[in-house]
A and B are shown apart, each in its own frame.
Chain A
Amino acid sequence: MLHLVQPEAQLLTVDSLRVCFARNVPEGTAVRGVSFSLAPGRCLAIVGESGSGKSVTARALVGLAGHRARVHARGLNFAGMDLTGFDDRAWRRIRGKDIGFVLQDALVSLDPLRPVGKEIGEGLRLHRAIASREELESQVIGLLKLVGVQDAEIKALQLPHQLSGGQRQRALIAAALALDPRLLIADEPTTALDVTVQAQVLGLLEETKARGKALILISHDLAVVSRMADEVLVMRQGEVVERGSADQIFREPQHAYTRQLLDAVPSGRRRGSRLSSSPAPRLPQPHGRLLEPSATRSSQIVIEATDLVKRFKGPGGILRTVVDKVSFQLRSGETLGLVGKSGSGKSTTARMALALDLPDEGAVLFQGEAWTTLTERERRARRRSISVIYQDPLSSFDPCWTVRRILADSLLDDVETRQERHKRVAELLDLVGLSPAFLNRRPLELSGGQRQRVAIARAIAPRPKVIVCDEPVSALDVSIQAQILDLLGDLKAQLRVSYLFISHDLGVVRYLSDRVMVMRDGRVVESGNTEAIFAEPQHDYTRDLLAAVPTLLGRQPQSRRDRDAVAAV
């Protein structure tokens, strides 16, 4: 009998890893007996919602689970070393050198005050892997080139905020790869990147794996995981609920929780199907004032934008055209999806629809009347007819206000008595699926999903005709994202509100939108019916965007042609 995997072949073995943060309370244990092993050239993915213990597990592998954390393991072996007995000095010797770690969100994971090159060279300097300053510089530039950063000599001297999101993430990966570690751990390396950049970063990780490095990938994005992983661990509440090859997990999930996670992924899902198990909100019909169906017929145009042009002054005082001759119509009860890479002018277009930025040319009509050409004073009375939901609701709330005050503040002035005001606030909260217990909470005391629910409640409070959603689910876990998307879908059906929906996640856009507008470099390259665009993209750029979307194994891919190909197999 031939053992395919010999113990010696394993680079990392973890046996019954436990991490506790607080003594004597069950919730204080973040990781409860996780075991796995990993061979060189293989990729292990750990998936689960936030709070499932996946990040803590990874951090425990470099001895950085947190200064209050107490880590126990029956065995923790890496490259023949027993990590359980490591002190700080021993840990420091392997961190960066033998185990590289890439954190999510490079904007905050690179020191904003130091040039990118310094950060990348830091590991080399710390582990005394270089002889001279010149050698350090040339190594740093070599690393930046390795991860595919153009103009590496210039970028090395720039600060993180001067780089694009994709360049920052590459720089962070370059820093982790500096000493050519045998194990690379990537914690949500592509969250918050747009699809094409995400595809490039994943390609980079795949190359690393192909060079014989072991890879641990932590992600809540199952599509990403299904592309990269050889083996998958599904974690919930600190425990591994399912493990297996990527193929097994995605094609024949055994555990109910795994199936729930998979169901929550919107890409390739038909509109109208529910992503989460949460029930549709019951509408408080008797108090119909809140939900008075708008008198508008479905065919009525609520927003009409014609030839919008917006220029901003770039570095060196050169005018840059950010939005170039963009026209669109949004009808009542309709969802218009706006997709494109970051910097394509999506958000600026939305800001012009909100009249937060005014177009340099062209104009926006709102319900057939002048909108962007009004003075702010004239506009103010009607501002509440267009609401907005942002990616990060936390920064759009006053942190000192309670949920009750946030919502009451957004109600129209026609609510006069205090009792009516309270009743309406409670209705709103109920509508977004939160119990009245949340009324007295403040934004910081809410989870990401709860905050976004409050943001939605605030957006619908003044009975708007249009809600602009700017990446409303990008910062959320897949299962929370599913609940929020379901909620947005339900509210649209019941309130007959129109959405202008911006997202870099094409799966999300496809799930929610009636029509889609694809933007590149400030121009609309393609627009039309969602299914038509996704099935038969006419423009190369749209095809590139679609091709870059990782799809779940065992799920229909994005375009019809590919779908047919799968069916033929």
Chain B
Amino acid sequence: MVANSRLFWLARRLASGVIVVWAAATFTFLVQCLLPGDRAQIIINVMTGNVGQASRQELAAVNAKYGFDQPLGVQYAKYIWAIGHGDLGQSYQQHRPVAEVVAEQIGPTIVLALAALIAAWLITILTTVLAAGRDNIWSRLLGGVQVLLATLPPYWLATILLVVFAIKLRLFPVAGGNSPIALVLPTLALALELSGFFGQVVVSEFTRVLEQPFVTSARMRGMSDLGVRFRHVLRHAALPGITLSGWALGKLLSGAVLVEAVFARQGLGGVLVTATSTRDIPVVSGVILVSAGLFVLTSTVVDLTYGIVDPRIKLT
């Protein structure tokens, strides 16, 4: 029965996720229609690389090919229908399906975002458990360092890490590559800032829980300080951080765009930058839709995790 209700919850959750993606699709459709300039003209310019005015025949041909001559309602229905079948349209510039372009590049970005999320959590947990709520200099330093980390822009941090560890010390490759070692610096650039954010909510909750009677109770059973911190307090303190993780993954995806640029990594970042600067609207829309889908997925995972860590929560 418990397993059933959880499956039911998951089904409902994903169903509402479909609505979120549909809303995002509608939004991208409207943007495409409302964008200044004639769409056919933009396509011809992107394809040819010219900026001149195309002839009436050329425009009519493009309009017919992309269906721009049909009523808006029909265009919208076709657009949504296609997305429902996994067809995100054709890239104006690359002349191939957007889905293909995104699929090719999304892997490294997801790897980077997940690595950064895990690293941020590890940093937060270790520093919190070791230093938070103690009567020493490290505890006081912790708060200051976290504020500092939270205020550092990742692209700036990325540049500093690149200069110090890759160029000066030559510990890591300067650019590119998909090897694990090449992942270290970009991951840190994203994770350090995020751990600053996590740390602030986790540490304040940690210090609060540390004073709770059930913690004293555990000490009175003979549990060591480290045991109390890991077994009792951390779990409570992690809860607000888990809530924050859904938001964090969105932030990581956007942060990844910049960090990928700094480290010349493969990924959605490069795709998005090129597509935006060349007005390759289907690709931009495709990235937005995929991000919306990812967001739905991560917030579902976050809520599931929360339900596991805090068994008092009933997923409904």
Contact = CB atoms under 8 A, between A and B. Distances in A.
Contacts of B235: 113
Contacts of A109: 213-214, 216-217
Nearest to B209: A111
B151 interface: no
Given A159-B311, A159-B312, A108 B223 contact: no
A282 interface: no
Interface in A88-133: 88, 92-97, 100-101, 103-105, 108-114, 119, 122-123, 126-127
A126 B214 contact: no
A161 interface: yes
Given A67-B135, A68-B135, A92-B224, A111 B219 contact: no
Residue among B219, B235, B236, B312 with max Cβ neighbours from chain A (10 Å): B219
Given A67-B135, A113-B309, A159-B311, A175 B222 contact: no
A113 B220 CA distance: 18
A105 B222 contact: no
B217 A95 contact: no
B135 A108 contact: no
B222 A110 contact: no
B85 interface: no
Interface string B21-45: 0000000000000000000000000
Interface residues of A, number: 34
B222 A92 contact: yes
B311 A113 contact: yes
Contacts of A97: 222
B214 A110 contact: yes
A122 B218 contact: yes
Contact of A112 (B219, B223, B224, B312): B312
A174 to B, nearest CB: 12
B312 A64 contact: no
Contact of B222 (A67, A108, A123, A159): A123
B65 interface: no
Contacts of B221: 95-96, 122-123, 126, 175-176, 178
A172 interface: yes
Contacts of B218: 111, 119, 122
B223 A92 contact: yes
Contacts of A122: 218, 221, 223
A168 B247 CA distance: 37
Contacts of B214: 108-112
B41 to A, nearest CB: 59
B310 A64 contact: no
B212 interface: yes
A62 B220 contact: yes
A58 to B, nearest CB: 10
B13 interface: no
A62 B213 CA distance: 15
Interface string B196-218: 00000000000000001110111
B83 to A, nearest CB: 39
B232 interface: yes
A92 B226 CA distance: 12
A108 B220 contact: no
B134 to A, nearest CB: 9
Nearest to A127: B222
A126 B312 contact: no
Contacts of A114: 232
A104 B216 CA distance: 11
Contacts of B220: 62, 64, 95-96, 100-101, 103, 176
Given A96-B222, A113-B236, A126-B221, A103 B311 contact: no
Contact of A175 (B135, B217, B219, B236): B217
A406 B216 CA distance: 34
Contacts of A123: 221-222
A105 B225 CA distance: 23
Contact of A113 (B213, B216, B227, B310): B310
Contacts of B224: 88, 92
Contact of B217 (A92, A103, A178): A103
Interface string B220-254: 11111101000010011000000000000000000
Interface string B171-189: 0000000000000000000
Contacts of B227: 126
Contact of A95 (B219, B236, B309, B310): B219
A104 B245 CA distance: 36
Contacts of B311: 113, 159
B222 A103 contact: no
Contacts of A126: 221-223, 227
A103 B222 CA distance: 15
Interface string A463-476: 00000000000000
A127 B220 CA distance: 12
A186 to B, nearest CB: 12
A95 B219 CA distance: 8
Nearest to A118: B231
Contacts of A161: 312
Query: Which 5 residue pairs are nearest across A and B when measured between Cβ atoms?
Result: A96-B221, A96-B222, A101-B220, A95-B222, A123-B221
Given A92-B223, A101-B220, 5 more contacts: A109-B213, A112-B312, A113-B235, A113-B311, A126-B221
13 contacts: A64-B220, A92-B222, A100-B220, A103-B216, A103-B217, A105-B213, A108-B213, A110-B214, A111-B218, A114-B232, A126-B221, A126-B223, A161-B312
